[in-house]
Amino acid sequence: MYISDLHIHSRFSRATSRDGDPQHLDLWARKKGIHIVGTGDFTHPAWRSELEEKLEPAEDGLYKLKKMYRIKDGVASDSMEPRFVITGEISSIYKKNGRTRKVHNLLILPGLEAARTLSAKLETIGNIHSDGRPILGLDCKDLLEIFLERVPGGIFVPAHIWTPHFSLLGAFSGFDSVKECFEDLTPWIHAMETGLSSDPAMNWRLSMLDGYQLISNSDAHSPAKLGREANLMDIELSYAGLEKAIQKGEGLYGTVEFFPEEGKYHYDGHRKCQLCLTPEQTKAFGGRCPVCGRKLTIGVEHRVEELADREMGYVRQDAKPFESLMPLPEAIGEAIGHAPASRIVQNIYAEMLKKLGSEFEILRQIPVEDIRKQAGYMVAEGIRRLRNGEVERDPGFDGEYGKIHLFRPEEREDTQGQLNFFSWLDIPEKRTEVTDGERQAEAALQAAETPKPADAVWTEETDTMTNSHKDILNEMQEAAVRSVAPVTAVIAGPGTGKTKTLVEKIRYLIQVRRVRPDQITAVTFTNKAAGEMRERLGKALSGVRGVKQLQIGTFHALCLDMLRRGNVPVHLVDETQTRELAESVIADYDMKMTVSQFLNGISFWKNGASARSVVCREAYEVYQDLMEKRQMTDFDDLLKKTLEWMDTGSGKAVKGGHFQYLLVDEFQDIQPLQYQLIQKWHEGGRELFVIGDPDQSIYGFRGSDARCFERLEKDHPDMTTLRLMDNYRSRSPIVDAAMAVISANPGKKRILRAARTKGEPVRIVKASGAMAQAIFVAKEINRQVGGMDMLDAETDRYRNETDIQRDFADIGILYRTHYEGRLLEKCLRQESIPYVVAGRDDYLTAPAVRGTLCFFRSLMEDLPEDMKLAGQLLWEQEPGMTDMIYEQAAETYRPLLKKTKPEKLLIRWMDDMGLQNDENMDKLVQTAVFYKTMEALIYALMLGEEGDILRRGGKKYKSGAVTLMTMHAAKGLEFPLVFLYDVKKGRIPLERPEGETDMEEERRLFFVAMTRAKDELILTYDGEGSAFLDDIPEALSVYEKAGRQKEETEEVHQMDLFELWEEK
């Protein structure tokens, strides 16, 4: 069992002791027997520097005092090493709903780095230098929003919630409910600090506080005051253990309390007139002091009476036990009739600590008889009475501490109460045996570490999909693998084993038909797919000679490799550079379109589809002329150059060769130039094998055509067509719902059979607003992974105790565009949910990011155009000065390029370039963590499709992370649980202001997204739902509402998007 006191102040706060430093906090924590102490005042830079100097890391998120600073006074135990956790208190003074509010909040952080990050943000809002407890004119809701965004995993606790002048529920400057203060962010508050003037029993009387963990701390302004109130925790000694105890109650055993009457604001009254009143008396006097007529200070008892909806004595179901104690010096003073601060009391106190143990051990555990032997009858009797609650109470009021009496004056006249100082000489040594409490803590820790068998919804008996599919092919898959037709087309619906069929086809060619690996080329749609295919083939063909000579890659990767091996100079430009040129041409011609629309239009011209382009011929020719003058090659030019090169002498020599057996994945998404390449590569080859699904053709905006299978058959009338129709991925309700959606498109009757015949209905959840939708997803994820419950929605009727507890990596969240992901990311960060973002989003177009990538690419390839662009984007100096800065940077970073991981390289770059606070550069760093070298990172950003590019959402997570991505990027992926996010009118199908929506392609995209789900599919939206939702049969779906509270709790207002983003 550990004792924690998390709310204290350093000497950098007003009205605090000069001893408020780490070494004295450590000393008094040892005297008191406190295992975890808050540092307090983390926002103060001088205090933070002192903490960094004098503390060293201990367990995760905790610190301990360096031994060189430890004070040895001969009283405090030298064997105990208290831990420190980073904490602070923020005072918010602001006006809300027509009233001035003054509220204090306790912030507990996972480390000093988080303290630096948050302090940097708060410094932009107010003065955090003058006081350890800074006063900010910041709405508590806004403070909470900033805290959750900047400190994932942080703990936010409204402090001493009943204090009349400075608290959440205070009578003078507080609120009447938690929701009134924190509005839609209320679900992120999980604990309340009761304060000295209330105990848990008083708080149990308010149903609105049900569900909050109740913690108690000293709010000490000097180290000697530590432990006036504290928490009892049966936890792992770590920040994670502390967080679980405070946020979820896991391991929060109970609290040690002041007697509430001892608090400075328990009863009503007027200190100046020395008048203490009960709430009933205050009401009788009309809230005015009967002596001077001024307004009375309303105490905690009165305020609780006002807000309580339960009678005194009510005990809530999840109530934690609590003990009411008083500081040991006060107990000694009561026993011998002297002030707690008197020399005699302090001497007795010190001797008791030396001989018996820490203060909390004496007050709570040491046998009374042992205390009597060492300290005399009266002290022992006083502690006995204290433990049993046999006390007399004089309530505190209006800032005047109350008094707790253990004895009547006449009792102290007994000579047994006088201390025999000579008795200290004959005492036993301090005990070394393990206490019952320690044994219980050890047993609980072992139990927590013992893995429990995971529950499962679907057993092998209830799942009709057999394990044998993992090892064998079905009839149609086998037919595809064995096909020897010159041209074979396989129509493979989602989840039908497309990649498995491709891998088995290549294995069959090599192992059965004895085809040399260097005669086989497999074309994939993404680099990730190519990597996965290589990995699978590596396992399937382990030991086969020449297997590394297999050509596997995307069109662009294969073309670039061919041209480089053919010594054809290629200066391939990435999107950042093509955007630069596009912006220039758009400006010159005053074109009313986005850069993306312009570049798509250019691609149509290069793919021979100028009729579909929004770019006029003149603009296209100007753009292409600029490209040629700068000797730049974009992706379409790369394909065209390859086509042209293959008609040259050296190019003709490679015909056949690697392409004797050509296999193409995701055939439905190829563009005209890619189709021409396939035909060119197949010339002189033996077999062409393509696989894909017209119903999954989703790149029409880039020139792909769902009718490509028909075109191939027209060009090759002898083509053999096979169909894979058994879905092994998704549960039957998901498959059937998706088929109902796609069947609304024209075409022949579609067949897709679910091998997994049991499953949950598709959940369709309507939220009251954008924020409510994001909150629902965050809360549902927490529920699915076994965390805290989401906002109460109407989902519980469909779920039971046998639900699978998912890992974060089991969950994918798909949206139509990256724009929808922004609000969602905020909520996931606030809920401390680890996530990665896949795909290209706006940060890659930011000048700092573009300039950085150009700089490092110029070091790799020594390209003048990259040097020039890097200088323009990063430094904006005169040409000569820019060149000098570039050369200095190049000299520093060129040696580091190959030997330093890109994440570390970029962090150093940000420091050197003053980009530490650039959010877009932070996102680039989060992308870099997935790559081993800078070259691999830049290569992925240049050639990778959307699904190839991942971005981590914050710190590293070893246990996996939720994946956020667009529906396009999700192609080829699968997750046990999929959220389709923001499925509303205007989003899906996406309504484009510049032209008509391709409804058939949008429906195909929705079909692709739905079929990424293996076990459970949840569709969310606010406002008016997508028209596609109407195509899902009622028998396969269930409609729910998000954000609706149970009858016992207050409804939580959901903040709209504008409110959340107003800080930006």
Task: Delimit the domains of the chain by residue range.
Answer: 2-307, 328-429, 484-570+649-724, 575-629, 754-839+955-1061, 843-946
C-beta atoms surrounding 918 within 10 Å: 19
CB of 907 within 8 A of CB of 925?
yes
Record the tokens describing residue 822, joined without a space.
């922004």
Q: Residue 701: its pLDDT value, please?
A: 75
Cα distances from 1047 to residues 177, 208, 488, 1030, in angstroms, run: 16, 12, 62, 31
295-297-300-305 Cα dihedral, nearest 10 degrees = -10
* Residue that wins the pLDDT comparison between 204 and 1054: 204
Q: Tokens 């075409």 appear where? A: 747
Q: CA 64, CA 240: separation in Å to the nearest integer?
A: 16
Report the pLDDT averaged over residues 868-885: 75
Residue 980 pLDDT more than 90? yes
- The secondary structure of residue 419, as a DSSP letter, is -
CB of 753 within 8 A of CB of 727?
yes
Residue 424 pLDDT more than 50? no
Alpha helices in 721-817 (DSSP H): 732-742, 770-784
β-strands 268-270, 275-277 pairing:
antiparallel
Chain centroid to CA 81 = 32
Q: Tokens 């779906």 appear where? A: 1037
C-beta atoms surrounding 948 within 10 Å: 23
2-307 and 754-839+955-1061 have identical folds: no
754-839+955-1061 falls under which CATH superfamily? Answer: P-loop containing nucleotide triphosphate hydrolases (3.40.50.300)
Query: Which of helix, strand or coil describes residue 637?
Result: helix
Alpha-carbon Rg for the chain in angstroms: 35
807 class by beta-carbon count within 10 Å (0-12 exposed, 13-18 middle, 19+ buried)? middle
Q: CA 284, CA 278: separation in Å to the nearest integer?
A: 10
Query: Which of helix, strand or coil describes residue 405?
Result: strand
Instruction: Give φ, ψ of 548 to 5 degrees.
Output: -70, -15
879 class by beta-carbon count within 10 Å (0-12 exposed, 13-18 middle, 19+ buried)? exposed
Q: Residue 720: its pLDDT value, please?
A: 96
Q: Residue 923: its pLDDT value, please?
A: 82
Q: CA 953, CA 962: separation in Å to the nearest integer?
A: 9
CB of 326 within 8 A of CB of 259?
yes
Which tens digits make up the pLDDT trace of 605-627? 988 887 778 888 888 889 999 88
Residue 1061 pLDDT more than 80? no
Q: Residue 431: its pLDDT value, please?
A: 34
Cβ contacts of 94 within 8 Å, gap of 6 or more? 100, 101, 137, 138, 139
User: Within 13 A of 394's CA, how many CA atoms are on the CB side?
Assistant: 10
Q: Which residues contribute to the annotated binding site for ATP?
A: 492-499
Report the pLDDT averaged over residues 1025-1054: 71
Q: Tokens 């009021």 appear where? A: 397
Q: CA 540, CA 406: separation in Å to the nearest integer?
A: 80
Q: CA 751, CA 740: separation in Å to the nearest integer?
A: 11
Q: Single out the residue of 787, 748, 234, 118 nearest to residue 491, CA to CA.
A: 748
Q: Single out the residue of 861, 822, 816 nearest to residue 843, CA to CA.
A: 822
Q: Residue 1025: its pLDDT value, please?
A: 94
Which tens digits make up the pLDDT trace of 381-397? 999 999 999 999 999 99
Sheet of 720-724, strands arranged across: 551-553, 520-523, 661-664, 687-692, 487-492, 720-724
Q: Residue 1021: its pLDDT value, please?
A: 96
Task: Read off the pLDDT band of 309 (50, 70, 90).
Answer: very high
Task: Read off the pLDDT band of 885 (50, 70, 90).
Answer: confident
Q: Single out the residue of 334, 322, 415, 301 nearest to residue 364, CA to CA.
A: 322
Q: Single out the residue of 393, 378, 292, 277 nearest to residue 331, CA to CA.
A: 378
For CA atoms 955, 959, 964, 969, give the dihedral sign. Answer: positive
Instruction: Give φ, ψ of 754 to 5 degrees.
Output: -85, 120
β-strands 720-724, 487-492 pairing:
parallel
Record the tokens describing residue 964, joined without a space.
């956020």
Q: Residue 413: its pLDDT value, please?
A: 67
* Residue that wins the pLDDT comparison between 882 and 475: 475
Q: CA 749, CA 957: separation in Å to the nearest integer?
A: 45
* Residue that wins the pLDDT comparison between 794 and 732: 732
Which tens digits make up the pLDDT trace of 674-691? 999 999 999 888 999 999
Report the pLDDT averaged over residues 779-793: 57
Task: Read off the pLDDT band of 971 (50, 70, 90).
Answer: confident
Alpha helices in 632-723 (DSSP H): 635-645, 649-652, 672-682, 708-715
- The secondary structure of residue 948, as a DSSP letter, is G
Cβ contacts of 232 within 8 Å, gap of 6 or more? 1, 2, 3, 252, 253, 254, 255, 256
CATH architecture of 484-570+649-724: 3-Layer(aba) Sandwich (3.40)
DSSP 510-526: HHTS---GGGEEEE-SS
Q: Which residues contribute to the annotated binding site?
A: 492-499
Any bridge partners for residue 720, and if so which?
488
β-strands 99-109, 83-96 pairing:
antiparallel
Assess if CATH 3.20.20.140 describes domain 2-307. Answer: yes
Q: Among 246-260, 301-315, 484-498, 827-841, where is mean pLDDT lowest?
A: 827-841
Q: Single out the residue of 503, 328, 334 nearest to residue 404, CA to CA.
A: 334
99 class by beta-carbon count within 10 Å (0-12 exposed, 13-18 middle, 19+ buried)? exposed
- Which contiguous run of DSSP H or E holds residue 765? strand 762-767
Cis peptide preceding 989, ω within 30 of 0 = yes
Task: Read off the pLDDT band of 842 (50, 70, 90).
Answer: low
Q: Single out the residue of 828, 799, 830, 798 nearest to residue 812, CA to CA.
A: 828
Q: What is the pTM of this model?
A: 0.54
Instruction: Give φ, ψ of 995 to 5 degrees.
Output: -175, 180
CB of 586 within 8 A of CB of 598?
yes
Q: CA 823, CA 835: separation in Å to the nearest integer?
A: 14
Q: CA 739, CA 1008: separation in Å to the nearest integer?
A: 10
Report the pLDDT averaged over residues 941-953: 63
Report the pLDDT averaged over residues 948-953: 58
Q: CA 19, CA 754: separation in Å to the nearest integer?
A: 71
